[in-house]
Structure 1
Amino acid sequence: MKNYKTLIVILLITLCFAAGYTVRTNAREKATVRRVSVSPVRAPGVPVATTQLCSAGDIDLGPLEIMLTVLRNVREHFVDPITPSDEGRMAREALRAMLASFQDPNTRFLDPEQLKLVREAAEGRFHGIGAILGMKKVKTGNIQEEHLVVITPIDSGPAAKAGLKSGDHIIAIDGRDVLPLDPFQRANEVIKEERKKAVDRNLLKKHIESETKRIEEGIPILKAERMLTSEDDKEFELTVLRDGATKPIKVKVKTQDFTVEPVSWTLVNDGRFGYIRISCFSNSTPQQFETAVKELKSKEVEGLVLDLRDVAAGDLETVLSVARLSVPERVFGFECKSRNRKIPIRIERCSDERVWKGSLVVLVNAGTARMAEALAVALRDNLSAKLVGESTYGDPSVVTLMELSDGSGVSITTGQMAPPKSSDYRGKGLAPDVSASSSEQMKEAIKILESLAKRSVSTLSRN
């Protein structure tokens, strides 16, 4: 009875939260995670998600009554005994199905193992093939399907060593097709087209059998993502589509556990300028970034290159802690939330001696995504920093992560970041101020810093 009541409470909470959001019909791409907790034990400094966005009168209890009716009948009449383990599985699958109905790859139920990986990534510890993966809508003819996409390979990870690149579409794993959220679209389209053309029934049957086999042997896209980010020690052969390639490419990559040093720095151009590379936004990134800025300021460098290429993971709070060392007390951006709410996100104050006030150039590419994009555009809009490289990924989504008391979690797309001044870059990315290939980006950044340094000297001489 206790487990039965627990299941009912979970279902109630689930429905109440779902009522606060409108069902999306177009899936957004993989988003930046804002870490929150609703479990009894809170992590210090982590805000708690709230479901108090609507009054009780706004909630339609009809669906809940249907669910409870089914649950009651299953408990009373199912031929085999219902165990506590069964009830837990039923609750998880109910949550999984409810969130999947949004058709938003960012809004989903996370098993305890998946949530553990998210937590460890925030500490700079990664598992699997070492790539930030996302889902991207791709339209072919009348069919629009989700593809599993490499947003960016992580520095020093297996994916980067194997040659995977930002923008690669993983279409098969070990020869098995990666299936979209709705794997039956192609079969339905085949039936429609064949009927229009009045094709022979035997040919139609062959097409349907081929599609049936593809679905039966394929791997659902969410399962494929779990396989490639799990702690299992395995080797996979990935089939990928890459821009510019004439045919699919085969890549062998082995999963492993590895750590990433979030920040590194050095002097460039005979010590005139500084270079800071952010590899990931982990819990230790702000402190390491501050140390790098302090060291470079002590060297009296004339300008700084900030490298945000191939950076995707991270949460808003961590990125704001980095931003305040360059643009304190400015508007980082606006978070556009449900019910037409547009909330300004302000950067906290920082003491002057800790802030970088010199010239700044930011390196970006197609792997610059999520909060890295938001940081890049905030630096351009507030500090007139120049962006050098390629157009970024184009993902301003904000995802809220709810940690549940049983160790599982729920991720929900709760907003879209809008730049302080620039135009919306969702789906198209940020266009750089200076376009350059990967081999030329550092040279172009140095040219800009040299030009700014000359201009500064000229201004001082006139004064």
Structure 2
Amino acid sequence: GGGGRPPPSTTTTTTTIVGGPEAALSLPFGDGHRQHVRLFQPRAAFAVVDAADLAASDDADHALDGASLLPAPDAIGTMIAPTDATGLSSPLSALKSKQRSTVLDEVWSLVDKYYLDQTFGGQDWNAVRDKYEDKLDLDRNDDAQTMKLATEMVKSLGDKYSRVLDRESYARIQKFDLIGVGATLMPDSDKRLTVGAPPVSGSAADLAGMKAGDFVTAVNGVPTEGRTAFDIIDQIGEDPNAGTVTMTVRTVGPDDLANEGYVRDLALKREFREIKDPVSYRIAERRSDGTVVGYVRASEFNSLVKPRLEEAIRDLESRGANALVLDVRGNPGGAFQSAVEIAGLFVDDALATSVVDGNGVELPFRTSKGRVVADKSHPMAVWVDGRSASASEVLGGALRDNCRAVVMGDRSFGKGLIQAVYGLKNGGGLVLTVARYMTPAGTDIQGSGISPDIGGPKSPVPFVMSTDTSKVDFGDIKKRMSPPMCQAPMS
């Protein structure tokens, strides 16, 4: 309902995050004991992924609702030297060493480190590893067989959102790549920005000769030292229409010492594969009381949504709009960090959501400072329905709990889980549930969705989505956005 939303009753825990300052934005965390705690190290490439689609379709264009792509930990792509199942450094047999160098073991290790459910669906995960490794025919060196076994192993988790992607499906996911060069960037254990997985085949990064393990020391001439993946995305986002991005890359050879290696500047062409413009907008009404209603629809959270939405808001306000409807009905989500960035167009330096990993470690995501483009005094409604999911719910929850908008329409889908997308060394990928999120007021919407504050206008034609805003009471919305009806949580 539209009643006040008091600050959350639970206290957000503060933790020391492996990777230090990165945590302030959105990454995997660590408690100093298990690296796996470092949940979300957004990789610059497609940074955070927040999802898989509502039905967990096998169609790769719907395989994610976004995160996000959610970055990865420090061991994405090619894994470290094999160890035994206990994680100790005791020597392995020749057979086990060979098994532990396959994509199957790479997938097993990623699940072991980062999967949200640390009971692995009630399975002994080490026993699962042995079971599927014993099925490998190493003499055949058959990638198709390995991927089939990896797929079966991930399915054993019983998680409809986690899945293995072949090369083609992984390439299609690049519509969530916010940089557009096909490289997965992430900090290593020393917080140096690296290429974390083999670049997408045929991408600008691949054609330029970038390899997994290369260090990216500068982007467009700005050093990367001390900066996070989100910082890089924000930097590039300052000129979203730029056709190229220049990365200073250092390749370290086997005989090179620390900080040595082959350094070169690579001018990489940015390409966004057949990405549709997700935003449409118009002045919907000019009412006799002076209310000018701007209507904006966002169909998905792909790499174009933030700049296009910002452009739409600026244009609508320049044409006199003083009330806004943001329609995310039927929007299954998209890049997780896009939802956080879009929230920053409306609220300044505020808690947008909190992410919790499998160890219960909580990490806050905040909106940017100084990026608000919408007049804060203008009433706003976020229009949702039962197919609004994941990143759509992140955005709706962020704006509502910060008293910047009301949620209008029907209860949302209720997807409060976040998936990371990891590149594999054979060019495929792994989509893995790594965390859950809560709204700023501490609401866990998994399975229950966001309950609307007000009902939305109904279409007179069955199965046709109405965009009529004439029945929306913006005077009531303004009251609901203000104290005492709404109290933003302390952040």
Shorter-chain TM-score: which interval?
0.5 to 0.7
Q: 2:336 aligns with which of 316, 335, 338?
A: 316
Partner of 1:449: 474
- Which residue identity does 2:426 align to in structure 1? D
Per the alignment, residue 87 of structure 2 pairs with 59
Counterpart contact for 1:49–1:402, Cα < 8 Å: no
Residue 73 (structure 2) aligned to one of 49, 54, 71:
49
Determine which of 277, 295, 301 is the counterpart of 2:315: 295
User: 1:120 and 1:444, CA in 2 relative to 1: closer, same or farther beyond 3 A?
Assistant: closer
Distance 1:445 1:405, change over 3 A: farther
Which SS does the other structure have where 2:295 is aligned?
A: strand
User: 1:301-380 to 2 correspondence within 5 Å?
Assistant: 301-351=321-371, 354-357=373-376, 358-380=378-400
**CA-to-partner distance for each residue in 1:295-349, whole Å, 9 max, x for gaps?**
1221232211111111013011222221110112111111111111111111111
Please tell me whether residue 112 in structure 1 is matched to residue 184 in structure 2.
Answer: no
Q: Which of 148, 153, 158 pairs up with 1:93?
A: 148
Q: Which amino acid aligns with 2:299?
A: S
The structure showing larger relative contact order (alpha-carbon pairs under 8 Å, at least 6 residues apart) is 2
1:266 aligns with 2:282: yes
CA distance in 1 between partners of 2:470 and 2:365 (Å): 29
In the alignment, is residue 421 of structure 1 matched against residue 449 of structure 2?
no
CA distance in 1, matches of 2:131, 2:451: 50
Over 3 Å counting, the alpha-carbon distance change for 1:66 and 1:96 in structure 2 is closer
Residue 437 of structure 1: CA displacement? 5.3
Shift of 1:35: 4.3
Aligned AA (1:449): F
**Given residue 283 of structure 1, which amino acid in structure 2 is its aligned partner?**
S
AA at the equivalent of 2:87: I
SS across alignment from 2:160: coil
C-alpha separation in 2, matches of 1:453 and 1:379: 13
Higher helix share: 1
Q: Match of 2:430, as an amino acid?
A: V
Q: What are the within-5 Å matches in structure 2 for residues 53-452 of structure 1?
A: 59=87, 63=127, 71=136, 74=137, 82-84=139-141, 86=142, 88-120=143-175, 260-270=276-286, 272-351=292-371, 354-357=373-376, 358-421=378-441, 423-436=443-456, 438-439=458-459, 446-451=471-476
RMSD: 3.8
Structure-2 separation of matches of 1:66 and 1:96: 14
CA distance 1:95–1:407, change in 2 (3 Å)? same
Instruction: Output the CA distance in 1 between the equivalents of 2:277 and 2:332.
Output: 15
Does the aligned pair in 2 maintain the 1:365–1:389 contact within 8 Å? yes
So what's the TM-score if we normalise by structure 2? 0.50
Separation in structure 1 between the aligned mates of residue 352 and residue 335 of structure 2, nearest angstrom? 14
Could you tell me whether the CA contact under 8 Å between 1:266 and 1:274 is conserved in 2? yes
Question: Distance between the aligned counterparts of 1:68 and 1:18, measured in 2?
Answer: 22
Secondary structure at 1:344 match in 2: strand
Q: 1:405: Cα distance to partner?
A: 2.6
Distance change (3 Å), C-alpha of 1:453 and 1:326: closer
Say which of 20, 34, 38 aligns to 2:67: 34
Q: TM-score, normalised by structure 1?
A: 0.53
Q: What secondary structure sits across from 1:264 in the alignment?
A: strand
Aligned residue for 2:169, secondary structure, equals helix
The alpha carbon displacement at 1:89 in A equals 2.4
2: CA distance, partners of 1:342 / 1:349: 22
Q: Deviation digits for residues 415-443 of structure 1, max 9, x if unmatched?
A: 11111115322212111111245328756
The answer to whether the 8 A contact 2:415-2:449 is kept is: yes
Structure 2 Cα separation of the partners of residues 394 and 428 of structure 1: 5
Q: Residue 91 of structure 1: CA displacement?
A: 2.3
* Structure with greater strand percent: 1
Say if 1:445 and 1:365 are closer, same or farther in 2 by CA, change over 3 A.
farther
Distance 1:70 1:32, change over 3 A: closer
SS of residue matched to 1:363:
strand
* Structure 2, unpaired ranges of 5+: 1-33, 40-53, 57-63, 93-125, 179-272, 461-465, 482-491
CA distance in 2, matches of 1:98, 1:318: 31
Residue-by-residue CA offset, 1:2-26 (whole Å, 9 max, x unaligned): xxxxxxxxxxxxxx999999xxxxx
Distance 1:449 1:59, change over 3 A: same
Return closer, same or farther for 1:449/1:438 CA change in 2, 3 Å cut-off: same
- Any conservation in 1 of the 2:414–2:448 contact (CA below 8 Å)? yes
Cα distance, 1:70–1:277 mapped onto 2, change above 3 Å: closer
Distance 1:115 1:396 in 2: 23
The Cα shift of 1:29 comes to 6.7
% same residue? 22
How far apart, in 1, do the equivalents of 2:298 and 2:405 lie?
16
Query: Deviation per CA, 1:193-243, whole angstroms, max 9, x where unpaired?
Result: xxxxxxxxxxxxxxxxxxxxxxxxxxxxxxxxxxxxxxxxxxxxxxxxxxx
Does the CA-based 8 Å contact 1:264-1:278 persist in structure 2? yes
Report the secondary structure of 2:67's partner residue: strand
Change (3 A) 1:104 1:29: farther
